[in-house]
Chain A
Amino acid sequence: MQAFDCAIIGAGPAGMAAAIALAKGGANVAVLDRGARVGGQIYRAAAASPLPDASVLGPDYTAGAALIAEFNRAEITRFTGADAWHLGDDGRVLFSHLGDTHELHCREMLLCPGAMERPMPIPGWTLPGVMTVGAAQVMLKSDATVADGAVFAGSGPLLYLIVAQYLRLGVPVAALVDTTPRQNYLNAVPLLPGALRQAGQLKKGLALLREIRAAGIPQYRFAEGLEILGEDKAEGLRFTANGQPYEIASETVFLHHGVQPNLNMTRAMDLAHRWNPQQLCWQVEADAWGQTSVPHVSAAGDGAGIIGAEGARIAGDLAALNILHRLGHLSEGERDRQTAPGSARLAAMAPFRAFLDRLYRPAGAFRLPQNPETLVCRCEEQSLANLRAGFNQGARDPNALKSLTRCGMGPCQGRQCGHMVTGLLAEWQAEPPEAVGYYRLRSPQRLLTLEELSRFQAVPAPAQAEAAE
């Protein structure tokens, strides 16, 4: 079967930018995205918003429309609604598309799995009505669906952004409950001079906070001890702020305390990973161009370490230029010359990111469950107490704990509990996360039916018209 020069998994900012650069450079590219439309999470439906006026979502969102248009014009083999469930280091990709199983082969692979919300395991977080702020974003962007009178709780720019977007749309907000610890503000001060080099970003953030204050919704700061009220579904949020107890009634609670790389692809390929102590998450080891421990597999964007949409776009471009070099389309010198401006831009963005990471560093009490009854594994319903019992029985690493308790064995394959399990085992053994490790993941990365497997199609790369100029 004719192999593609490069297969890109994920069509967010990183994947789209990379695909455009690769196609321009003469490579034969296939792009797979699980979504019904390209754009990833950040640019969801940016080219076809169901909202009366998408400009309320802000210029960072509407900017995505231009990138999507450029991607759509480029000469690329593309599949949307395509869920890749096996990525082999032999270049074999298996994916589900419209109920069929497809196979393609590639010489180079670029993984752009993006970010996911950092789970927030407070008591009651599994009740219907409790969702992430990312969920609120998705529903707003893709389906113009909003929740009246919701409580927004947590910390970080995305939390403030969705509240501001709701307010601009005239959607009533019950309260903003901010969990950013007081100490974080002090800790972040030394990084402020560096962040000021990107004064525009800082101003944008401050304007967002002012906009929310001006709207006059109830706001609570330095909140602790969050707990969802309700037995069968969410009925509100209980917390303390400045020593005072509060209860706010609402059937919808949106939680957020940062995002983390969506690890399943890079982990299932058994690529080398490292713990990022600033962002408190795992990320795949990659060089300046995104090349991982398997040379023909690269990773770019938030899925390789959180850098934001603009950074992801640049990282995608850099990875593509390096892949073009590896494919023989660009000399080493030409690659270095063309990647220099992007690398410089990424380096210039790093101090602001470091400031954000420090300021909005999630408190330990929200990253790891505190209540023995709180579920860590939502799929297999394993509580903190169950995991502790497994640990006491001798399970010392995530795989042993999984075998003993079934934690991480459900349909999400550890996407929700993985970081928590690493964190808990590290805490219990007083060891660094690297010593604890992560789940060993295997294909398939999604639920499959035998019927689907039986409907098999190969996707050959289109014959190259003029392979060499």
Chain B
Amino acid sequence: MFRSLRSDSAPKITLTINGQAVTAAAGQSVWSAMVLCGQPVTRRAALSGQDRSAYCAMGVCFECMVVIDGFPNQQACLRQVAEGMTVATQTITEDRGAPDAGL
């Protein structure tokens, strides 16, 4: 269970994570906002579709790629929350809507 020890008076920001309205401190990473609201699944693995979540939280594992405001492949650990931001678990997998499927 993740929790915040934050005590500073950073302004609060409202964003949406997979449809859930979430309040986070300005300057906070999108990844930390996700775990604090109980939504640690960032993407589905491209082949198996298995749930994945951040491994390194410092930009080198690319496991935390999410869709932010409609743009896929955004590293949640490197992005900061912003007012009105929409974050969604990335579900780009091999069998989903592949243009050459069945060829």
1/0 contact string of A369-382 vs chain B (CB within 8 Å)? 00000000011110
The reply on A279 being an interface residue by CB < 8 A is no
Q: Is there contact, CB below 8 Å, between A145 and B80?
A: no
14 A–B pairs (Cβ distance < 8 Å), ordered by A: A35-B78, A50-B25, A52-B7, A128-B51, A132-B56, A138-B58, A142-B32, A144-B4, A144-B6, A145-B2, A145-B5, A233-B51, A233-B53, A447-B73
Bound Cα distance from A99 to B29, whole angstroms: 17
> In the complex, which residues of chain B have a beta carbon less than 8 angstroms from the beta carbon of A410?
46, 62
Q: Point out the residue from A41, A148, A415 that lies within 8 Å of B1, measured CB to CB.
A: A148
Per the CB 8 Å criterion, the residue count for chain A at the interface is 46
The reply on B13 being an interface residue by CB < 8 A is no
Nearest-neighbour CB distance to chain A for B35, whole angstroms, equals: 7
Bound Cα distance from A52 to B10, whole angstroms: 12
The reply on B21 being an interface residue by CB < 8 A is no
Closest to B71 in A: A449
Nearest-neighbour CB distance to chain A for B66, whole angstroms, equals: 13
Q: Point out the residue from B1, B4, B46, B53 that lies within 8 Å of A143, measured CB to CB.
A: B4
> In the complex, which residues of chain A have a beta carbon less than 8 angstroms from the beta carbon of B31?
139
Closest to A44 in B: B58
Bound Cα distance from A287 to B86, whole angstroms: 48
Bound Cα distance from A268 to B93, whole angstroms: 28
Nearest-neighbour CB distance to chain B for A99, whole angstroms, equals: 9
A146-179 residues at the B interface, CB under 8 angstroms: 146-149, 169
Interface size class of B (residues with CB under 8 A): 35 or more
The reply on A65 being an interface residue by CB < 8 A is no
> In the complex, which residues of chain B have a beta carbon less than 8 angstroms from the beta carbon of A233?
40, 51, 53
Q: Is there contact, CB below 8 Å, between B58 and A411?
A: no
Q: Is there contact, CB below 8 Å, between A36 and B65?
A: no
The reply on A131 being an interface residue by CB < 8 A is yes
Bound Cα distance from A149 to B3, whole angstroms: 11
Q: Is there contact, CB below 8 Å, between A145 and B36?
A: yes
The reply on B100 being an interface residue by CB < 8 A is no
The reply on A51 being an interface residue by CB < 8 A is yes
Bound Cα distance from A137 to B39, whole angstroms: 20
Q: Is there contact, CB below 8 Å, between A135 and B54?
A: yes
Q: Point out the residue from A34, A52, A126 that lies within 8 Å of B59, measured CB to CB.
A: A34
The reply on B47 being an interface residue by CB < 8 A is yes
